[in-house]
Amino acid sequence: MLDVGKLEIIIVNLGKQNSIEILEVHAEGEVGQILTKGAPSIPGDTLLQQMQFINETDDSILKFCLHEPRGKSQMTVNLLLPSKNPAAKYGFIPMQPDGAHSMSGSNSMCVATALIQLGLVESSGPVCSVPIDTPSGLITANAKIADAKVTSVEIEMPKSFLEHSDLEIYVNGIGNVKVDVAFGGCYFVLVDIAQLQIEICNQNAEKLVSLGKAIKEAASEQITVQHPEFNELNSIEYTMFVEKSLPQIKTSTILYPGRVDRSPCGTGTSAQLAALIAKGEVNSDQEITSESIIGGQFYANTKKHLKCGSRDAIVPTMRGRAWIYGKTEFLIDQSDPFLSGYTLSDTW
């Protein structure tokens, strides 16, 4: 149903703009489209405030891009914005069906690849360093380039830390589950999947989604989190299942409305690396390989150790690949009854 109140900000802020341009990109199979032209003005002095505006005041641009008939449940649209940090020219906010988020590793790779290959940042030589603003703070993308094409991107992730270790929570329909809770750009409840006697594989995707949803809901009810530097970051956003064969891990991050992340999940891998180091399971100078449910791989290492508030934290690096595969223009027609989109329970 058309939400006229929500739609008003899109139409007013677009002015004479009657279309939105989307660059289609994926990182190791996870769709991370980029809104490159036609976005409305989003109020806020920081990207974190702009993220909050989308989540708390007006989510019209999110619904327009992500809900049907233009969007689908298994995707992200990254809102490309001018940076609020003088150290960077561009920033971005990852928008997913459940809301705008503070950070994403796979989507950072998509954004960095697009900025370079579209010529929005200058590049020369085999490596291009691109600072990017995010709601979680400034990050740096170091992209390798060959024949004018980005071949891989290494992201310096936000400060990552273990907040809770070896907590036992009660999950309806499952029983007691042991979890860690860590921050890698957003908060994750980390679950060693061996205790659930299920493998991370395509055939189990539906069951993983059901388990992940129940665990995330239980963790959100039973565990309190609070970022020491950003008051607004105080909720668990995702469940990440992990199979460990160190220094390799296989991961499955569960996203709203009920799907598996197609990539190894950069923020989740950052959170997992921080937890592994804090618990002494890997050395601080050891690279880990994080593999997704479809076989894509990210490579994570620790750039430095530091404090985040009073907590011991690391700055992880996350290396992976992204590909530009298309371009879409969405037309804005005020007679369209579905400008705010719709969702149906068959896939949502």
Q: pLDDT tens, 77-119?
A: 999 999 999 999 999 999 999 999 999 999 999 999 999 999 9
Domain check: are 205 and 103 in the same one? Answer: no
The confidence score (pLDDT) of residue 18 equals 86
Domain check: are 115 and 218 in the same one? Answer: no
The confidence score (pLDDT) of residue 17 equals 57
Q: How far apart are CA 284 and CA 280, in angstroms?
A: 9
* Choice among 265, 270, 290, 340 that is catalytic: 265
Domain check: are 130 and 168 in the same one? Answer: no
Please choose, from the candidates 293, 297, 103, the residue with its C-alpha nearest in 3D space to the C-alpha of residue 212: 293
Q: pLDDT tens, 229-260?
A: 999 999 999 999 999 999 999 999 999 999 99
The confidence score (pLDDT) of residue 181 equals 98
Q: pLDDT tens, 307-340?
A: 999 999 999 999 999 999 999 999 999 889 999 9
Residues spanned by the domain of 187: 161-320
Domain check: are 120 and 211 in the same one? Answer: no
Half-sphere CA count of 309, side-chain side, radius 13 A = 11
Average pLDDT over residues 24-29: 98
Look up the pTM and report it. Answer: 0.92
Residue 339 lies inside a defined structural domain of this protein: no
Q: pLDDT tens, 181-223?
A: 999 999 999 999 999 999 999 999 999 999 999 999 999 999 9
Domain check: are 166 and 305 in the same one? Answer: yes
Domain check: are 186 and 310 in the same one? Answer: yes
Domain check: are 237 and 183 in the same one? Answer: yes
Domain check: are 136 and 178 in the same one? Answer: no
CATH number of the domain to which 227 belongs = 3.10.310.10
The confidence score (pLDDT) of residue 323 equals 98
**Catalytic site residue 265?**
yes
* Residue 125 scores a pLDDT above 70: yes
Average pLDDT over residues 6-13: 42
204 in the Ramachandran plot: left (φ > 0), alpha (ψ -120 to 50) or beta? alpha
* Choice among 60, 102, 104, 252 that is catalytic: 104
Domain check: are 218 and 131 in the same one? Answer: no
Domain check: are 110 and 203 in the same one? Answer: no
Domain check: are 112 and 207 in the same one? Answer: no
How many domains are contained in the chain?
2
The confidence score (pLDDT) of residue 124 equals 82
Residue 275 lies inside a defined structural domain of this protein: yes
Residue 64 lies inside a defined structural domain of this protein: yes
